């Protein structure tokens, strides 16, 4: 098995993993997460996580984009896998940079494709539609879930404009869940 050393390759400005034998540079880049704020009759769909991180906390149907998928295909797949939901996408609601964990999150606004039908997938303990006032804010899994729900609330009935981005209080996505975020 080849060994890698941390070096700054010629023409670069960051430490990278470089193969000691052939000079191959193994770049470590952020991962893309796709998800959707799915709504129906003013309610939003949330999934209670059956996996870590944040087992037992509520989140949007979302997950890592797979190779060979478009952003849209990944968001549709995640809604089906986690919530058994067939959905249609209205467009991009938000794009978040979560530098603390090396993620870029693309959140869509969506609705059910046909009658609302949900069932917990293997990564979900429970799935439910929540009225805004029923959302378990203190039990949401990640800051970006709060942000996306608030972005949805700010314009869920209107046309989509420019996607929402990180809030001014966390432009780089470095903060974990706090009481301030949960409000």
∠ Cα 126 130 132 (to 5°): 145
Q: What CATH code is carried by the domain that includes residue 83?
A: 3.90.79.10
Q: Would residue 141 count as lying in a domain? A: yes
Helix, strand, coil distribution of the chain in percent, nearest 5? 25, 35, 45
Q: Would residue 10 count as lying in a domain? A: no
Q: Would residue 11 count as lying in a domain? A: no
Q: Would residue 39 count as lying in a domain? A: yes
Q: Would residue 170 count as lying in a domain? A: yes
Give pLDDT tens digits for 40-59: 999 999 999 999 999 999 99
Q: Would residue 121 count as lying in a domain? A: yes
Q: Would residue 13 count as lying in a domain? A: no
Strand-pair partners of 38: 110
Q: Would residue 15 count as lying in a domain? A: no
Banded pLDDT at 138 (limits 50, 70, 90): very high
- The confidence score (pLDDT) of residue 151 equals 96
Instruction: Give the H or E element holding residue 129.
Output: strand 124-130
d(CA 107, CA 124) in angstroms, rounded, equals: 19
Instruction: Give the H or E element holding residue 18.
Output: strand 16-19
- The confidence score (pLDDT) of residue 39 equals 97
Banded pLDDT at 136 (limits 50, 70, 90): very high
Give the number of domains in the chain: 1
Other CB atoms closer than 10 Å to residue 16's CB: what's the count?
Answer: 15
Domain that includes residue 89, residue range: 31-182
CB-based contact 179:109 (threshold 8 Å): no
């Amino acid at each position: 098995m080849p060994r890698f050393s941390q070096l700054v390759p010629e023409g670069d400005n960051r430490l990278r993993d470089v193969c000691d034998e052939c000079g191959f540079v193994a770049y470590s880049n952020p991962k893309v997460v796709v998800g959707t704020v799915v709504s129906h009759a003013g309610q939003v769909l949330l999934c209670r996580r059956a996996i870590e991180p944040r087992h037992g906390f509520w989140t949007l149907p979302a997950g890592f984009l797979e190779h060979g998928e478009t952003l849209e295909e990944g968001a549709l797949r995640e809604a089906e896998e986690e919530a058994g939901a067939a959905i249609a996408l209205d467009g991009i609601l938000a794009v978040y940079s979560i530098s603390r964990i090396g993620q870029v999150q693309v959140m869509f606004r969506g609705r059910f494709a046909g009658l609302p039908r949900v069932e917990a997938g293997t990564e979900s303990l429970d799935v439910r539609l929540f009225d805004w006032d029923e959302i378990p804010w203190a039990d949401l899994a990640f800051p970006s879930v709060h942000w996306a729900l608030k972005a949805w609330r700010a314009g869920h009935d209107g046309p989509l404009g420019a996607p929402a981005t990180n809030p001014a209080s966390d432009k780089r996505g470095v903060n974990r869940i706090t009481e301030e975020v949960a409000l």
